[in-house]
Amino acid sequence: NAGVTQTPKFRILKIGQSMTLQCTQDMNHNYMYWYRQDPGMGLKLIYYSVGAGITDKGEVPNGYNVSRSTTEDFPLRLELAAPSQTSVYFCASSYSVFKGTDTQYFGPGTRLTVL
Amino acid sequence: GESVGLHLPTLSVQEGDNSIINCAYSNSASDYFIWYKQESGKGPQFIIDIRSNMDKRQGQRVTVLLNKTVKHLSLQIAATQPGDSAVYFCAESLTGYSTLTFGKGTMLLVSP
């Protein structure tokens, strides 16, 4: 298993540009998450999904959109990039709560800079 | 790579010492807790977890202690090695809810 993979690893955007951060997992996890991590800070939840076709907002959803058309993929869309969105973005996945564990497994991250 | 350690509490130890990293969690109803390790430039990596029906759980060189009375979680690392240098995060959750709440993190620096 490759686990959780994210692309790209690095990206520089100009203010107002848009982009999609890709996330794929091959563990057949139902639950997927997007976090952002600013320097010296913990992880803040942007959006999450409990299954294909179902998404919900986390703590900091403004400026982002997500979709979940398949179990494996959970892309994060930035429509109008702003300097405040400069951060490291992590995707994670986990088993359904019915499996009795909520452990989340993380990808390697995408480092985004908006200038 | 970009540092995630700026402004974080830091614990500095010598190689071979035992390390104790502490975490105060926020929700008295939380019943599931996880410790993650994050090395510079990488994503968080699962270390160990514990449910609220337990006070202690041991893994390989790591032990997690849970004190629900004071909402406190600790991670003990035995015989700390330079490879243990990283930022350590605790996270809490509530069964039936699919999200985790992460603490701010503690940086562990291990000197040879």
Across the interface, do A108 and B3 touch by the CB < 8 Å criterion?
no
Q: Given this model, what pLDDT does residue B4 score?
A: 37
Task: Identify the bridge partners of residue A34 per DSSP, sorted by sequence position.
Answer: A47, A91
Are B26 and B101 contacting, i.e. CB atoms less than 8 angstroms apart?
yes
**pLDDT one-digit tens code per residue, B3-27:** 334 467 999 999 999 999 999 998 8
The highest-level CATH class for domain A4-99 is: mainly beta
Rounded distance between C-alpha atoms, residue B70 and residue B63, angstroms: 18
Domain boundaries, chain A: 4-99
Tell whether B102 is within 8 A of chain A (Cβ).
yes
Domains identified in chain B, total number? 1
Which residues of chain A lie closer than 8 angstroms to B105, CB-CB? Answer: 41-42
Residue numbers in chain B where pLDDT is lower than 70: 1-7
**Residue B98 domain boundaries:** 11-111
Rounded distance between C-alpha atoms, residue A113 and residue A89, angstroms: 11
Residue B100 belongs to some domain of the structure: yes
**pLDDT one-digit tens code per residue, A36-65:** 999 878 899 999 998 999 999 999 999 999
How many CA atoms within 13 Å lie on the side-chain side of B105?
25
- Residue among A6, A104, A113 with most chain B CBs within 10 A, to mutate: A104
